[in-house]
Structure formats: C-alpha cells, structure tokens
Structure 1
Amino acid sequence: MTTTFECGNWRDNILTQLQTRNRQETQLFQDVISQHNKVFENANRLYLENLQLSFQNEKLKADGGSLGSHSSSTVDIRLQERIQQLEQKLLANAEELTELHRRKGENAQQIIDLNALVQEKDKLIATKEVSLAESAAKIVSLQAEVSMYDQSNRELKYLNDALRDEHQALHLAFSSLEEKLRKVQDENRQLVERLIKYKAKDADRMNEENDNFLKNRSKKMLKEIEEACRDTRGTSPEALVEGLGPLYQFTVPTKLTLKFDAHESEVSAVKWSSVDRLIATGGADRKLKLWDISKGTCESKGSLVGSNAGVMAVDFDTSGTLVLGASNDYATRVWTISDQRLRHTLTGHSGKVMAAKFLGDASKVVTGSHDRTLKIWDLKSRACIETKFAGSSCNDLVTVDSAGSIIISGHFDKSIRFWDSRSESSANNIVLNGKVTSLDLTKDAKYLICCVRDDTLKLLDLRMNQVVVVFSCESFKVGCDWTRATFSPDGQYIAVGSADGSVYIWGVASAKVEKVLKEHTSSVTATAWCPYAAYLASVDRSRKAIIWSDNVI
C-alpha cells in the first residue's frame, strides 16, 4: 500500500510540475498566440469573402452575357463600376491576405527563436542545478572539515592550558631552586673565603718551609759544586760534551703508525701541542677535537663545541693550556684544554675566518678572513684592538717573532703581505703565480714556505725577500684553497698533502722529493709535524687522520 501511494504521489508530482512549467512557458507567448489566432481568423474570413465575391462576379458575368442587347447602357455602366469596385476590393483583400501571411511567417519565426531561447535557458538551468549540487556537496565536506578543525582547536586549547599550568609549576620550581642557589652561593662564598684564609696560612707555612729547604739546599749545592770543581780538573772537554747527551735528529717518517676517523666529515686543520703528544683537529662537523696518542693508540680527549660552522684552523698557545679554532661562521673561539670550556668568542669579521694564531703570548690572537681584513684581538678585554685592511681574502698567516710584532699573510690575490703591528698598512708585498693557500716559518724565522695553487711550493728567504727554491713534481696537485704545508721542527723537510691523497715530503737542502706517503683515499688538506719527535700528522676530506713515523709511538 505504501509503495502504491508513493508511486501515485510521484506521478501527481510530475504532472503538477509539468503543468506548472507549461503555464510558466506559455504565459510568455500568450499575447503572440492570441494575436496569431486573430490573424488566422481574419485571414479565413477574408478568404471566404473573396470566394463569395468571385462567385458573385462570375454570376454577374453570366447574367450580363444572357441579357445581351437587352441590357441598357446604363446597366452596363453600373455593372462595370460594380465590377471595378469588386476587383479593387478583391485586390485590397489579396494584399491584406499577403500581409497577414507575412506577419504569420514572422510570428512563426519569432516562436522558433523563443523556443530555442527556452531550450538554452533549460540547459543553463540544468547546469546551474549541477553546480548547486556540487556546491552542496562541497559545503557538506567543508562543514565536516570545520568540525574537525574545531575539534583540533579544542584539543590544542586543552594542551595549551596544560602546558601553561606546567610552565607555571616549573616557574615556581625554578624560583624555589633559584632561591636555593642563592643560599648555596652565599654558603659557597663563605666557604671559599674560609678556604682562602686556610690556604693563605698553608702558603705562609709552606713558604717558610721552602725558605728553610732552599737555605739548606743552597749550602749543600755549594759543597757539591766545590767538590765537582775539584773532581773535574783532569776531565777533557770531549767528556763534558758526551755528558750532555746526543741531540735529537729528525728523520723522514716512512710508515703509517695510527689511522682513525677524526670527524664526521671533512677534516680541515690539524695541530700538535707544544708540551705533550696531543693533537687538535678541526672539521666541517663544527667541532674541534683533541686526541692523545702518547699510549700508542688514538684516545679522544674531548670534543670542543660552540662553532656554528666548519672549523678551518686550529692553534695551541705556547703553554699548551689554550686552543683556538677559526670558523666559517665569521668567528674565532678559544677553549681551555684542562676543562674544555669555551672561554672567548671573537666576533667582528663579516666573512669566513680562514686563519688564526696566538700572537706572542696567550693574551692576543690574530685572525685572517675572507672579508679581506686581519684583526688583532685582546683576550683580556675580549675586543678587537686593531684591524688591518688587506684588500684580498686571507687564506693563512704566521707571526715572525714571539712578540708578534711582524705578521705575514697569504692571500687570494696571489700576494704575500708583511705587516708591522705598529703600522696600519703592509710594509711590502711579494706577488706569486697563484693563490696562496698556506704559510709556515722555520724556527729561526729566516725562511718562509708558501703553498701556491699553481701546484708548487715556494721557499722565501726573508732576509732577501725573494723566492730562492721552488718545490714541485708532476704528480703533486694542490687540492683546495686551504691546503697546509709545514716545515719539520729542524727546518730540513717540508710536508704537504696532494689532491690524489698522497703526502709529499721534500728535502729543503736537496729540493727533491724524499718520500711520498700513500694511505689517504681523498685530498689531503693539512699536515703537522710533532715539535719534539719525528711524527707527522695528516688529515683529509674524507674524515681520516693519519700519524706517520719510523717507529711505534
């Protein structure tokens, strides 16, 4: 029953819609249709009248023929007039009929045009209905998405409230801990003051004991000296020299002793400490690392962090207590080795810092940068005290004397510049045949070795300020703009890395290649000699560091 009823409603609904549509569409053409009907009726009426008049005309003609001569001239005249009137009327009716047919055709064409317009409107309505359906579906989807975002927003508000409560709790806890810290600091200050007093007492007591010990020792030493003088009256000078022990002679390292991964990626710099068997390496992983090799193995002594870009140069101070690293983040940093804490951050350059050295004592540092300047820093005031404008990117620099009064820098424009710390401009320049990648001095500061991008090493005699020896060979290629070449501690050998992974060692006196060490698999960036033993360290662009020597460490 329900199905039948619903089916009947469906048909009635369709019928109602059709009737409504018929009324709406015919209402627009109602005037045209009524006018057309009137024209059609008028044409039918005129057509009937025309037939009647034709019939009457034929009848009159027949009547006129039968009358013949019996008709009078008057009747003929009237009949002719009547015929003419009827013909004129017939002609007028024919013209009116033609006009009505023409208007009928125009109305029919107008009906066709209006039907075409109705069809176009129907298509447009259908398109709009499809668009409305799509819009309705999109609205439903957007409403669902809005509901989802509302739910997410409520969850985020809940989470934000929870985090705010947690922050308040942590703030209260921090305030409490801060108050405890103040109390502990006050207590620590009191303990330190007490400790200082006790230390002062101990120092006084120790000084007193030392004074007594030194007095007793000096008396004893005087007696021993007198006895030694009496005993050495018959001793030869040769025996005295032999008593001093043999002086150490540096030899060319020939074999690999240690090989290890120094950094997570490219290693850019390596340096030996001047007081123990400790080396520092700087890498593209933004770290400066310390390695102890005194036990015959590579033992990590710490990773010094703080740089925001790769470390390009490292250096120890003369006492071996501080180490510095020049970084690509436009800054140079200084750490203490004992506690591995960052002590100074020297910022002021506007380009990569490629070179850095302690200037004389440990209180001053000189840096060279891609911003074409050299800067001298005072670590006590943590400020730049002097800027020297070189006019070209600095790749490396060295200091001539312990006081740091003379600085030599190598530059991208193929020049070596000499600077007096007391003057703003460079004293003189030496122009080479390629970009200068590194500089190193002999201990007596008489000779300077320059690594140049024309795949040569040039030895300068600083007393004459000219190149005296050029070191090169066919297979040696400089791998990058910061390839570091170094003198051996006795100044008899020069070590440098090549682009093919080999380490070349030249003899200074012979100007020949003494040894080629092959173990690296990528370009060697830097080398460094141990200052008190025949050990050579080299690092490459594939994170490897190698220690070379003639014996086991």
Structure 2
Amino acid sequence: MSTDECTSWREHVIKCLRERNSKECDNFKEIILQNNRLIGQCAQLKSDNLKLSVENEQLRNSVSTGGAGPNVAIVTLEKKLLEELTELHKRKGENSQMIVDLNVKVEQQKKLIAEKEQSLFEQQTANNRLRAEVQMLHSNLEELKKLNTTMLDEHTALHLAFSASEEKLRSVQDENRCLLDRLMRYKSKDADKLNEENESILRKRLPSIFRKRSDKLKRDIEDAVREPGSSNNFSSPVPRSSTSPVPFGSCAVSDNECEEASINGAMDALGMGDDDYISGRFSAGEAETARPSIDTLKAAGYLGQPNPTKIIMKFEAHENESHAVRWSPVERMVATGGADRKVKLWDVGKASTEPRAVLSGSSAGINSVDFDSTGTYILGTSNDYGARVWTVMDNRLRHTLTGHSGKVMAAKYVQEPIKVVTGSHDRTLKIWDLRSIACIETKFAGSSCNDLVTTDSLGSTIISGHYDKKIRFWDIRTEKQADDVIMPAKITSLDLSKDCNYLICSVRDDTIKLLDLRKNLVISTFTNEHFKVSCDFARATFNSNASKIACGSADGAIYIWNINGFLETTLKGHSFGSGFFHSTAVNAVSWSPNSNSLASVGKSKRCIIYSNS
C-alpha cells in the first residue's frame, strides 16, 4: 500500500471516529454535565452530613458531661441542623425530579437515535441498490453502444449494397428501354406491312363500301365542326392502349354482309373515317389512329372543359419550399402547407395575396393538407411525427394526434368528423377517434406510406401507397386486407375519382398509372419524354369530373392528360413567359372541385392559381 493511500485511509478512520463521537456524545453532553453536577452536590452533602454528625456526637458528649451553656448551644445546633436537614431533603426531592426528567429525555433521545439509525440503514440500502442499478445501466449503455456501432456498420454495408443494386437496376432499365424501343420499331414495320396488305385488299374488294362510308363520315365531321355543342361519334377519343389489330381479311369475299359488318365494327371501334383507316398504323398492343386534330376536337367540344392556362393569381406561399396544396370543397379558398411549419389559407375569390389565416402548432414541416367534405375542418400532417386538426371558422387548433414514430405523410377523414386515418414512414397506418383523441387501431403495412385515400364517406376501405411499390387495400369492417397491386417503382401519391371506380397512382419511374378498382387492374399509363416526377411525395390529381389528370414535373412544368390517354397541354414557363410559371420542381397540384381551376406549389415557394377564364 502506498504512502498516499495509507494517509488517506487513516484520515478516513479519524473522520469516521469523529462523526461517531459527534453522533453518540453530543446528544447526551448536557445530560452528562447535569449528572456530574448532581454527583458533586451529592458528595458535598455527604461530607456536610458527616461533619454535622461529628459535631452532633461531640455535643452529645458534652451534654453528658454536664453544663448549662452547652445545652443552649445544643438546642441551637439541633435547630440549625433540623433546618439544614429540611433543606437537604427539599434539594434531594428536586434532584430526584430532575433525574426523572433527565431519564425521560434520555429515553426520548434513545428513540430518536433508533429512528435515525433505521432511516440511515434504509438510505444506505437504497443507496446500494441505486449504485447497483447505475452499474447495470452503465453496462447496458456499453452494450448498446457496441450494438449501435454494429448496426451502423451494417447500415453502411446495406446502403452500399443498395446503391450498387440501384445502379444495376438503372442500367437494366435503360437496357430494357432500348430493347423496348427496338421492339416497337420492329412491330411498327410489321404493322406497316400489314397495313399495306390490308389497304391493297380493301381497295380491290370493297370500293363501293369505302366510298359510301367515307362520304357519311365526312358529313358527320362537318356537322360536328359547325355545331360545337354536339358529341356525335367523337365523344371519347381512342386511348393509347387498345386491343390488337382487327383481322379484316378473315371474311370471305363473296359474303358482303360479313365484310361490311367487320369493317363498320372496326371503324366504329377506332372512331375514324375510311381514308383515315387506310392511312392509319397499327401495332401489337397499341393503335395509333389518324383522327382529327386536337384543335378541331377542342373547337367541337369533344374534349370536355378547356384547360386552365391563364394565371389569375400568384403569390409567395411560404418562407421556403411548399409541399402541399388543397382546394376547399365549398369556398374559393386554397390551403397550402410548407417547410416553414405553417398551414396557410388563401382567399382566391378575393384575389388577395395576403393569407386569410395562418394555422400554427406544428414543430416541423407540413407534408399534406386536406379538408373535410363540409370545409369546416382542415387536416394537416407533419414531419414531427404528428397530425393536427384545425377549424376553418376560427382558425383554432382542435386536436393533435401523436403516436407515430416517423414523419406522417398523409391523413384522411374516415367517418366525418369522428375518425381520421394517418399514414407514416414508420410503416404503419393509424385510425384515430377524434372524440377521445386516441388511436383505436394500428395497421402494420411493412413499408413506409407516402399517401392514402378512402373510398367513401364511411371510410370502409382505405387504399395506401407505399415505398415498396405496393398499393394496399384495407377493409376496416372485416379487418381483412385485399390483394396488393404492385407498381414498377415506389409510389408517391394516390387520388380517387368521385365515383370511386378509378384510382390514379404517380410512380417514381416517371409515370402515372390509371387503375380500375372494379378489376384491380392497371388500364392505362400516362407519361411523356420530358415528364419527371419531382420527389417522393409529388401529388397527381383528378379534376372534378375525373376526365383529366394533372401532375407537376421536376422541370417546373405541369402536365395535363386527358383520361383517354393523350397529353392535352403542358403549362411551362417558356410557353407563356418564364416569370409567371414555376422555375423549379412542382411538388403538388390540386383541381378545384367547383370550377375549372388548378392550384400548384413547388420548391420555388410560389403558389400559382390557373383558370381558363
């Protein structure tokens, strides 16, 4: 043992002895002093008593020998002795009472010391237990640090593997695209050869039918151009995806009824005239029809509502990037949400560039906003793992829904205004009861949810789009999950038509898919060579009658497709003046439910309202 340790040990022993003396002696110090004083007094009294006894004995001896003078002295001494004896008895009684009181105090002090010792023992026991717990927590912390290091190493390895797989996937997709282009060129050549054969056969065998049919269709087109409100035979243009070519050469030459029925049926199905049919091109899996120009169809009113191309309002919506936009179902009002943690309401009817209201309460960026069907409540989701409900009338925060362990990307009303469903990056969907402000059900999807929709006002079916490329269907009445629909890439948004028959899904492979929910099948794909999905939460949307689809692109343009498959217009900066349109990626668009207006927001902080009038 070293000198320092020995010195420290001795000082510790001395300190402990001093503490023990202070605890055991200080409490009885007064009692000991009183006791010592009483013992001294008692000794003094015994000495006085002995002296008086000696004097008394001497006096008695003197009395026995005789003399009057001594008798008087004896009486005086006896009287004095009696008084002193009385005083001594009195003092003895007082001292006895003091001893009794001091004994009571000693007992009380003993009880107090016992209580203190018991408390000290309990505190020492608790201290030892806490020391053991601290030691265990330190060991757990070390284990967690080691585990965290291992997990970080595994995450790094997985990230590298994912990057390599993604690069490989992109190269395979590029190769697949090249092969697909080559295949389409080969099929186009085959179709050209087939068209030439059909053209030669039809011109030889059916000249009268061709002339009759051509004259009739020309008259119909002229009537349609003169009457823009009529629909005639061009009410729904042909989609890009159609069936394979019709085998016109399969009927016998002598059977005129079979030939005419076959040709008439094919032409009616394709919606074109005889000359158009002859010059048309077909390919396996796709039919490109030579139909009247887009301007002619627009003039005739066959494409429904005109596209919104005129900017009626533009403003800086948020301090930085804007993530979400939604029209009110009852007012000319737009709600936007951005990375500045605020939801803002804008009065489009008054064309005010100042917000009608600013809804605060979120501690992170807003990912989505949505109104209930009456426009009374507005629902917003946030990166702070929560969702919030505000009232539009007084702009007050009514409910805060917390419980997810990841950012909440989407929320919809399930049973208005009682329940809400939220989808999060923590791979779960939660159903909330707004009356008790509690989560009543959690659905484990197994993948991050980017968007969700509900099929009706009762919210019996929930449709969610996920990072793992799957669209999942949830029936909350039976708690059963229907078959998933797999997309070619991760899903960024979903939108449902009003009749709940069709669903559009924007996919990260720069396409938008149209699904028929009655069959759970993809029936059409919308894309363009310049269209790029801007981010993982880019929103595509139907218009009010589900006849058009709009979606923003990474190049700042907004693409509008007709539901039948062809691109109607593109809202670009260079088309109408670059100062008015988005200069950076468009994150979300929203059609007005009551008019032919369109709202859009993007990374440039700007919100733009388009209309056709």
TM-score (norm 1): 0.54
Partner of 2:320: 265
Q: Does 1:527 align with 2:582?
A: no
Asked whether 1:540 is paired with 2:595, we answer no
Among 287, 292, 296, the residue aligned to 2:351 = 296
- Corresponding position of 1:472: 527
Q: For the residues of structure 2 that align with 1:445 and 1:271, how far apart are their CA atoms?
A: 19
Deviations 1:433-478 (A, max 9, x none): 1010000011101110000000000000111101000000100001
**Residue type of the alignment partner of 2:610:** W
8 A Cα contact 1:486 1:529, kept in partner: yes
Correspondent of 1:328 among 353, 370, 383: 383
Q: Which amino acid aligns with 1:286?
A: R
Q: How does 1:99-118 map to 2 (within 5 A)?
A: none
Do structure 1's residue 392 and structure 2's residue 436 form an aligned pair? no
CA distance in structure 2 between the partners assigned to 1:312 and 1:437 by the alignment: 12
Counterpart CA distance in 1 for 2:537 and 2:547 is 23
Letter in 2 for 1:296: A
Equivalent position of 2:487 in the other structure = 432
Q: After TM superposition, give the deviation of residue 529 of structure 1 in Å.
A: 0.5
1:417 and 2:472 equivalent? Answer: yes
Contact 1:409 1:418 in 2 (8 A): yes
Q: Cα deviation per residue 1:368-423 (whole Å; 9 max; x = unaligned)?
A: 00000001111111111111100000000000111100010000000000010124
Partners of 2:525 and 2:565 within 8 A in 1: no
- 2:612 paired residue number: 550
The offset of 1:319, in angstroms, is 1.2
Q: Distance in 1 between matches of 2:612 and 2:415?
A: 33
Query: Which SS does the other structure have where 2:378 is aligned?
Result: strand
Query: Among residues 339, 343, 357, which one is paired with 2:394 in the alignment?
Result: 339
The alpha carbon displacement at 1:297 in A equals 3.5
Question: Structure 2 regions of 5+ residues with no counterpart?
Answer: 1-303, 574-580
Counterpart Cα distance in 2 of 1:298 and 1:253 = 20
Partner of 1:359, secondary structure, is strand
Preserved contact between residue 484 and residue 496 of structure 1 (Cα < 8 Å): yes
Provide the residue aligned with 1:489 in structure 2: 544
Q: CA deviation at 1:257?
A: 1.6
One-letter code aligned to 2:601: V
1:35-184 alignment, distance < 5 Å: none
In structure 2, what is the equivalent of residue 287 of structure 1? Answer: 342
1:291–1:384 CA distance, 2 compared to 1 (3 A)? same
Structure 1 stretch 512-521 or stretch 437-446: which is displaced more? 512-521
SS of the equivalent of 1:546 reads strand
Match of 2:430 in 1: 375
Residues 87-140 of structure 1 deviation map (CA, whole Å, 9 limit, x = unaligned): xxxxxxxxxxxxxxxxxxxxxxxxxxxxxxxxxxxxxxxxxxxxxxxxxxxxxx
User: Is the counterpart of residue 515 in structure 1 residue 576 in structure 2?
Assistant: no
- Which runs of 4 or more aligned residues in structure 1 lie more than 6 Å from their structure 2 counterparts after TM superposition? none
What is the rounded CA distance, in whole Å, between the counterparts of 2:497 and 2:483 in structure 1? Answer: 20
Kept in 2, the 8 Å contact 1:388–1:424? The answer is no
Instruction: Please say if residues 346 and 352 of structure 2, whose CA atoms lie closer than 8 Å, have aligned partners that are also in contact.
Output: no
Task: Say which SS state the counterpart of residue 366 (structure 1) adopts.
Answer: strand
1:502 is matched with 557
1:251 aligns with 2:313: no
- For residues 209-258 of structure 1, give each alpha carbon's deviation from its aligned partner in whole angstroms, at most 9, with x where no partner exists: xxxxxxxxxxxxxxxxxxxxxxxxxxxxxxxxxxxxxxxx6431012221
| 1:512 Cα offset (Å) | 2.7
Q: CA deviation at 1:324?
A: 1.0
Amino acid corresponding to residue 593 of structure 2 in structure 1: P
Cα distance in 2, alignment partners of residues 502 and 391 from structure 1: 34
Q: TM-score, normalised by structure 2?
A: 0.49
**1:401 maps to what in 2?**
456
State the distance in 2 between where 1:309 and 1:391 align.
25
Tell me the CA shift for residue 425 of structure 1.
Answer: 4.6
Q: Per the alignment, do residues 464 and 512 of structure 1 end up closer, same or farther by CA in structure 2, a change over 3 Å counting?
A: same
Q: Select between 354-363 and 526-535 the one with higher mean Cα deviation.
A: 354-363
| Counterpart residue type for residue 258 of structure 1 | M
Higher mean alpha-carbon deviation, 384-393 vs 358-367, is at 358-367
Contact 1:389 1:425 in 2 (8 A): no
Task: Write the letter of the residue equivalent to 2:345.
Answer: L
> Is the contact between residue 492 and residue 508 of structure 1 (CA under 8 Å) also seen in structure 2?
yes
The whole-number CA distance in structure 1 between the counterparts of 2:566 and 2:518 is 20
CA distance in structure 2 between the partners assigned to 1:255 and 1:433 by the alignment: 35
Counterpart code for 2:594: Y
Which residue pairs with 1:245 in the alignment?
Answer: none
Aligned length: 304
Secondary structure of the residue aligned to 1:300 is coil
Give the RMSD, CA atoms, in angstroms.
Answer: 1.4
Q: How far apart, CA to CA, are the structure 2 residues paired with 1:543 and 1:516? A: 18
- Verify the 8 A CA contact 2:492 2:506 in the aligned structure 1: yes
Question: Deviations for 1:7-65, whole angstroms, at most 9, x for unmatched residues?
Answer: xxxxxxxxxxxxxxxxxxxxxxxxxxxxxxxxxxxxxxxxxxxxxxxxxxxxxxxxxxx
Q: Structure 1 residues 349 and 343, CA, compared in 2 at 3 Å: closer, same or farther?
A: same
2:370 to 303, 311, 315: 315
The 3 A distance-change label for structure 1 pair 425 and 392 is farther
Identity, % of aligned positions? 59
Q: Secondary structure at the match of 2:530?
A: coil
TM-superposed CA distance for 1:515, in Å, is 3.4
CA-to-aligned-CA distance 1:175-231 (integer Å, 9 cap, x gap): xxxxxxxxxxxxxxxxxxxxxxxxxxxxxxxxxxxxxxxxxxxxxxxxxxxxxxxxx
Secondary structure at 2:484 match in 1: strand
Please name the residue that 1:156 is paired with. Answer: none
Looking at structure 1, the residues matched to 429 and 305 of structure 2 have their Cα atoms a distance apart, in angstroms, of: 34
Matched, 1:363 2:418: yes
Tell which deviates more after alignment, 377-386 or 511-520. Answer: 511-520
- Aligned equivalents of 2:393, 2:329: Cα separation in 1: 15
How far apart in 1 are the matches of 2:355 and 2:567? 36
Given residue 546 of structure 1, which amino acid in structure 2 is its aligned partner? I
Is the Cα contact below 8 Å between 1:398 and 1:408 reproduced in 2? Answer: yes
Task: Find the residue that maps to 1:252 and give its secondary structure.
Answer: coil
Kindly state the Cα deviation for residue 516 of structure 1 after the two structures are TM-superposed.
3.2
- 1:414–1:433 Cα contact (<8 Å) kept: yes
Q: Distance between the aligned counterparts of 2:363 and 2:523, measured in 1? A: 41
Offset of 1:264 from its aligned partner? 0.3
Q: Write the letter of the residue equivalent to 1:414.
A: K
With over 3 angstroms needed to count, the CA separation of the structure-2 counterparts of 1:250 and 1:532, relative to structure 1, is: farther
Alpha-carbon distance between aligned partners in 1 of 2:351 and 2:336, rounded to the nearest angstrom:
18
